[in-house]
Amino acid sequence: DVKVTQSSRYLVKRTGEKVFLECVQDMDHENMFWYRQDPGLGLRLIYFSYDVKMKEKGDIPEGYSVSREKKERFSLILESASTNQTSMYLCASTPWRATNEKLFFGSGTQLSVL
Amino acid sequence: EDKVVQSPLSLVVHEGDTVTLNCSYEVTNFRSLLWYKQEKKAPTFLFMLTSSGIEKKSGRLSSILDKKELFSILNITATQTGDSAIYLCAAPGAGSYQLTFGKGTKLSVIP
């Protein structure tokens, strides 16, 4: 069965901390995505990657960076966490040349920044 | 800018009711429209629609697309408490990799 695994289900951090959210997929997918989901705003794309060491900005990249050193792993980095980054973070993947019909999502990380 | 708008944003119904969820879109180079169901965890894929007027069906769920009027509906008949979830509508935009999501409809089915 396909699997996208996010390392933490819940995370509590302090303002100014550096935060790493990890995502691993076991489907050999080329494309990986990071979304954040907020009540009333829906899912918004932060960054995506279509290959190892490649990254593209989504709609709301400010305050975030990403790392894709290996095909199966896509990390989201908050260099200096702020309270407005409190959110549900969802990682997703699709195979190369897919038109995103079947995004496979991880279970999400609920991040609270205090 | 690509836009996907869902209505209503929330809905409470009784078990056995039939519900209709709406999704309208304005997307450059429209290719498809997708529906996902999100319970407590990861959104899961329900339907992809590409052609007008062709109903997609899975059990008590069905969906149809109207490319002339730029909307889609998701119907759920004989609702059950297990249908309680957020239903997301999305469409790929001009960029191949980017899905634009609506804000979702939160459906609550009460016994």
A48 to B104: CB separation less than 8 angstroms, yes or no: no
Confidence of residue A98 (pLDDT cuts 50, 70, 90): low
Beta strands B33-38 and B19-26: pairing type? Answer: unpaired
pLDDT digits (tens, 9 = 90+) for A37-92: 998 888 999 999 988 999 999 889 999 999 999 999 999 999 999 999 999 999 99
Q: What is the mean pLDDT of residues B49-55?
A: 88
User: How many residues are there in chain B?
Assistant: 111
pLDDT digits (tens, 9 = 90+) for B89-99: 999 876 656 78
Which residue among B43, B44, B98 places its CB closest to the CB of A45?
Answer: B98
The answer to whether residue B46 scores a pLDDT higher than 80 is yes
Residue of B nearest to A88 (CA): B41
Residues in A touching B90 (Cβ below 8 Å): 43
Q: What share of chain B is helix, strand, coil (3-state, %, to 5)?
A: 5, 55, 40
**Nearest one of A32, A37, A25 to A89, comparing CA atoms:** A37
**Nearest one of B67, B66, B79, B68 to B20, comparing CA atoms:** B79
The answer to whether residue B56 scores a pLDDT higher than 60 is yes
Average pLDDT, chain A: 91
Determine the pLDDT at residue B97.
64
Confidence of residue A95 (pLDDT cuts 50, 70, 90): confident
Q: Which of residues 33-92 of A touch B (CB under 8 A)?
A: 33, 40-45, 48, 50, 56, 58-59, 90
With an 8 Å Cβ cutoff, is B93 touching chain A?
no
The answer to whether residue A114 scores a pLDDT higher than 90 is yes
Helix (H) or strand (E) segment spanning residue A48: strand A42-49
Chain B interface disruption, residue of A37, A101, A102, A110, most B CBs within 10 A: A101
Output the six-digit token pair for A109.
């990380």
Output the six-digit token pair for B22.
């709406």
B50 or B13, which is more confident? B13
pLDDT digits (tens, 9 = 90+) for B23-41: 999 988 888 899 999 997 7
A105 to B101: CB separation less than 8 angstroms, yes or no: no
Determine the pLDDT at residue A77.
97
A66 or A8, which is more confident? A66
C-alpha A97/C-alpha B50 separation (Å) is: 17
